[in-house]
Structure 1
Amino acid sequence: MSKKELAYIIDPPPKHWVGNGFHVHTMFHPGHNLYKYTTPFLMMDFAAPKKFAPTKAKRGVGEHPHRGFETVTFAFGGEVEHRDSSGGGGVIGKGDVQWMTAASGVVHEEFHSQKFSEEGGVFEMVQLWVNLPSEYKMTSPRYQGVKGETFPRIHPAQGVELKLVSGNYLGEVGPCKTFSPINLIQTDMEEGSNFSLSLEDKTNLLVLVRKGSVSLNGNEVNEHQLAIFHRDGQEVEVSSKVGAELLIMNAVPIDEPVFSHGPFVMSTKEEIIQAFEDYQSGKMGHLS
C-alpha cells in the first residue's frame, strides 16, 4: 500500500457564535479554496469544550431552512435537541450522532436540551455539512438520531478503539445511512499507542485532533488542528505519545459543480434562486 501524503494542517481560526449556544471554530466553509481536498464535506464547525452556567433560557439557533445537503452533528459533551419540519427530531448526548438529510428542504432548529441548559456543564460538539450528489438533492428529508453505544467498536491495535459511525471498515458497517461512500470514525488512542489506517485509493481524508496530539505519516498534528490529505495513497500510520481523541473523515469525492448561498447548497445558480423562492412560499414546511 502507498502512503497518503499530507496536504495541509489547518489551525483553528478565532471562535465565533452561532446563535447563542454554539461557540465554534469554523475549520472550513462552503466555497473555500480547499474543497477538492474536502469534498463531500462542505463545512466543519468545531465547538471545542466550553463550560456553560445553568440557565432557564434557551441556548442555540432558532428556526432556519436548509436544502441540498446533510448536517451531521457529533455530541462529545452536553446535549443537543433538534426539531425539523419533516417531523424529525430528538435529543443527542455524549457519544451520540444526529444525521439530518435536508435534501429537498426542511426548516429546523437546534438548541441545548432543556436538561443540559438547566444543569449547565461542559459542551463540546462537531457539526459537518455534507454535500449530496446532484441526483439526491431533491430527495425526501430524513432524520437519523443514533446512540453512541450502537457504533461498532474496532480495535486495530492495543490501546486503540475505533467507533464506526458510518461506512465500512475492517469488516464492520456503521449504522448511519449515507448517499455516497463516507467513513466517519471516532478514534480513542491511549498514550504510546499506534495503528495503521487503511483506506481506499483516490478518497479524501480529514483528521480532526479533538484532544491530545498525533503523528500522521510522520507529521505532527496538535490539539484542535485539522489535517487534510491528498487523494492518492491508501495508508496512514497513526501514533500518539500522549494519547489522543480524533475524528476521522474519509469519503469518495463528489466532483460535481457546487453553488452555495446561505443555508442552501445546490448544483446551479438557478437552483439556489428556486430554493429561496420555495422557502419563502412555505414549500419547505414550518415548525409547529
Structure 2
Amino acid sequence: MRTIKQRHRAINAPIADLVTYRALPTASVEYLDPFLFLNHHGPQVYPPRNRGLPFGPHPHRGFETVTFILEGDILHKDTGGHESVITAGGIQWMTAGRGLIHAEVSSEAFKQTGGPLEILQLWVNLPAKDKLVEPRYIGLQRDEIPVLTLPGGVVVHAVSGQWLGTAGAVQPLADVALAWLDLPADSQLTLPVAAPRTVFFYTVRGALRVNGTDTRARELLEFNHDGDELHLEATADAVLLLGHAAPFNEPMVSYGPFVMNTEAEIQQAYRDYQRGDFGVWNG
C-alpha cells in the first residue's frame, strides 16, 4: 500500500460572499503534477433573490477545468459557443487549450429561489503537445455519469478513466482518471493505482482512513510513489474527490488564468488575449 507523504489542510479563502476553501495550492503544497488547483466552494445556503456565483467573463489557456456540482447549479457560457446549465450531481469539463473566455454563474432560477450550494473546481494541466488544442466543453447532468455501486454501499461516480472496470463519461486528452465517491460510515474499498501515477485525494465531507492514515473533511493527502494500492475505510459518512494520472514531468509556468511551459508563452498568451484571439464576449 502507498504511504502518505503529507497531509495538507485547505485554507479559508472566501470570494465575496461565497464560502471558499482552497486546497491547492497552499503554503505547504504547490501542485501535484498534473493537478494544479482546487477550490471548494460551500457548503452554504443562498437566500432567495441572491446574486449567485461571482465568476463573470475571464480567459484561460493551457489547461482544463473540471467542475463538480454537488449542490446548486452553474450556468457555463464561453466564446466557443458553448452554453449550458448543469445542476446538482453533474460536471463540467472545459479544455481551455489555445484560449477562450468563459463565465461560470448561477442560473436565473437559482438566483430567484436560492438554496444549497457546494461546488468543487479542479484545474488539470495539459501536456506541452496539447497546450494549444482547440477549446472544448462537455457539460453532463447527474444521469449522464456512469455510477458503480459496490458492496457496503460505496458509490463511485466515474467521470473519466477506468474505475474497477467501469469507464468514465469523459475521454480526456491526457490519461487522467477522476471520480467522486460516496462512502457510508464503516464501508471499505480497495483500489489499484499504479505506483508511478500521481494520486489526487481530497476529502470533501466526513472522515476517512486510507492505508492506515486518518483524514478529515477539507484535507488533501499527498502520497509517495511506493505502492500500487489504496485501501479506504469510512469512519463517518464521507464524500471523496479522487483522481490519478501519470505526471507530465514538464516545466510549468502559471500566471493568473494561464498555465504554460515557459515565461515567453505566458507573455504570448496575454498578447493574444489582448488582441482578441480568445474570441469576443457577447454577454
Bin of the TM-score, shorter chain as denominator length: over 0.9
SS at match of 2:11: coil
Match of 2:2 in 1: 4
Matched, 1:16 2:10: no
Separation (CA, whole Å) in 1 of partners of 2:226 and 2:161: 20
Instruction: Supply the RMSD in Å over aligned alpha carbons.
Output: 1.7
Give the CA deviation at 1:132: 0.3
Alignment of 1:7-156 (within 5 A): 7-17=5-15, 20=16, 22-29=18-25, 33-35=29-31, 38-55=32-49, 57=51, 59-156=53-150
Separation (CA, whole Å) in 2 of partners of 1:108 and 1:30: 25
1:218 partner letter: G
Residues 21, 62 of structure 1: alpha-carbon distance in 2 compared, 3 angstrom cutoff: farther
2:20 partner letter: V
Residues 222, 13 of structure 1: alpha-carbon distance in 2 compared, 3 angstrom cutoff: same
Give the CA deviation at 1:185: 1.4
Match of 1:256 in 2: 250
Give the CA deviation at 1:34: 4.2
Give the CA deviation at 1:33: 4.6
Residues 48, 232 of structure 1: alpha-carbon distance in 2 compared, 3 angstrom cutoff: farther
Give the CA deviation at 1:270: 0.7
Separation (CA, whole Å) in 1 of partners of 2:161 and 2:53: 32
Q: Which runs of 5+ in 1 are unaligned?
A: none
Separation (CA, whole Å) in 1 of partners of 2:83 and 2:215: 36
Is residue 146–residue 176 contact of structure 1 (8 Å, CA) maintained in 2?
Answer: no
Residues 32, 277 of structure 1: alpha-carbon distance in 2 compared, 3 angstrom cutoff: farther
Give the CA deviation at 1:157: 2.9
Q: In structure 2, which of residues 196, 201, 205 is the aligned counterpart of residue 202 of structure 1?
A: 196
Matched, 1:191 2:189: no
Separation (CA, whole Å) in 2 of partners of 1:50 and 1:77: 9
Give the CA deviation at 1:108: 0.9
SS at match of 2:269: helix
Q: Deviations over 1:222-252 (max 9, x none)?
A: 1221222123311011001322111111111
SS at match of 1:16: coil
Give the CA deviation at 1:147: 1.7
Match of 1:282 in 2: 276
Q: Deviations over 1:21-62 (max 9, x none)?
A: 643111113997543xx1111100011301111126454211
Give the CA deviation at 1:89: 2.0
Is residue 203–residue 232 contact of structure 1 (8 Å, CA) maintained in 2?
Answer: no
Q: Name the count of aligned residue pairs.
A: 282
Separation (CA, whole Å) in 2 of partners of 1:263 and 1:86: 17
Match of 2:171 in 1: 177
Separation (CA, whole Å) in 2 of partners of 1:77 and 1:124: 5
Match of 1:265 in 2: 259
Q: Provide the TM-score with structure 1 as the length reference.
A: 0.93
Q: State, as a whole percentage, how many aligned pairs show the same letter.
A: 33
Q: Deviations over 1:84-129 (max 9, x none)?
A: 0011221111110000111000011111111111111111000011
SS at match of 1:177: coil
